Structure 1
Amino acid sequence: MTNWTVRVAAAAGSPLNREYNAEMISRYWGRPTNDAEIDSYERDEQDHDVPVFLVLSLDGNDVGCLGMRFLSGDVGELTRMFVRESLRGRGGASALLVAMEAEAVRHGVTALRLDTRKDLVEARSLYAKHGFTEIARYNDAEYADHWFEKRLTSAHHAAMS
């Protein structure tokens, strides 16, 4: 059993954002990326609006992250789900999702949405395992192929209290 620690942190300046961006670029294009390409993406294309940002740690080392922004009303949107490759499959992403659901409830969110790409098969499996269901497109994200939602029910809210 791995003992994960999840804490709220600031998204701005987190080195985990850069690791996430590097992986997303490399996986999308099917080739390694470089600093100039990551810099360009971070400057020009990345949505910087991530008011809730969680950092996953193991033995004092930051190894993953998950962000949430607020859409209209009481809907939150997950973004930047990332766990370092060497630590995947050990429950870190699940720890992040559970912690973010608790944060969402604290912020009055009753539904979480997210978009993802077709090449991120393991992410889609993770979201389904945690009760997210595929929905119709809700945004115009350029690289998204799949959209998911999870309703945070009153029973879920009570369990988080």
Structure 2
Amino acid sequence: MTVTTDWAFAPEAYDTPDASALRRDYYDEVASRYWKRPATTAEIDEGLTNDGVGQLVPPTGQFLVGRYGGEPAACGGVLLLDAGRAELTRVYVRPPYRSSGGAALLLRGLEDAARALGAHRAVLNTRLDLVEARALYTRHGYAEIPAYCEGPYMDIWYGREL
């Protein structure tokens, strides 16, 4: 577990009430930004159905929840792609907790989880409109890489050695 004065990050099952609420908030934000309108409850439910989160458990992955002052405020997952690479996914900090240092700590916790799974490289994909996320990744040493996967909501891919 990574701890600072106000932040604490720890592995947590993706389906606990706190983790589920964080995953819903994550999907609501990224879908709403993509569609340029608020996502509906039905759209959020559909997006979370069969989204592969079940793989974010050892030995194939890990899901982390971050708490700020004890309140659930952030989440993210690591998915082992092969013997050396792990993908960071669902990286999210609730808006009221942004600019508190939590995103950097979440990245560090996810990278530690990736190392624990045996990875020596972290990769991720995101969209061009998620400029804050892209700035976070590059600020922490992630560089643009060739696409390692494809999908409708992927515009740019990043990686870094762990």
TM-score, normalised relative to structure 2: 0.88
Please give the secondary structure, in 2, of the residue aligned with 1:109: coil
Amino acid at match of 2:22: L
Give CA deviations for 1:46-88 in whole Å, capped at 9, x if unaligned.
Answer: 2323220111101111111010111022110000011011111
Contact 1:2 1:90 in 2 (8 A): no
Aligned-pair CA distance for 1:100: 1.4
Aligned match of 2:22: 16
Q: Name the residue aligned to 1:85.
A: 95
SS class of match (1:119): coil
**What number of residue pairs does the alignment pair up?**
151
Q: How many angstroms apart in 2 are the aligned matches of 1:72 and 1:142? A: 23
- Rounded to whole Å, the distance in 2 between the matches of 1:30 and 1:2 is 36
Is residue 2:155 matched to residue 1:145?
yes
| Aligned with residue 29 of structure 1, among 29, 35, 55 | 35
Structure 1 residue 47 corresponds to structure 2 residue 57: no
SS where residue 148 of structure 1 aligns? strand
Unpaired runs of 5+ in structure 1?
153-161
Q: Offset of 1:2 from its aligned partner? A: 5.8
| Aligned with 1:3 (options 6, 11, 18) | 6
Match of 1:120 in 2: 130
Give the stretch that moved more between structures: 46-55 or 90-99.
46-55
CA distance in structure 1 between the aligned counterparts of 2:68 and 2:25, rounded to whole angstroms:
17
In structure 2, distance between residues paired with 1:81 and 1:100: 9
Q: What residue in structure 2 maps to residue 64 of structure 1? A: 74
SS of the residue corresponding to residue 142 of structure 1 reads: coil
Aligned equivalents of 1:103 and 1:30: distance in 2? Answer: 33
- Secondary structure (helix, strand or coil) at the match of 2:52 reads coil
CA contact (8 A) 1:2 1:91 kept: no
Please identify runs of 4+ aligned residues in structure 1 that moved more than 4 A: none
Distance 2:5 2:128 in 1: 29
Cα distance in 2 between the residues matched to 1:106 and 1:41: 29
Encode CA deviations 1:106-158: one digit per residue, 9 max, x unaligned: 22110000000011001011001111110011101221001000111xxxxxx
Unaligned runs of 5+ residues in structure 2 are: none
CA distance in 2, matches of 1:3, 1:62: 12
Structure 2 CA distance for partners of 1:83 and 1:23, relative to 1, 3 Å: same
Q: What root-mean-square deviation, in Å, do the aligned CA atoms of Structure 1 and Structure 2 show?
A: 1.4
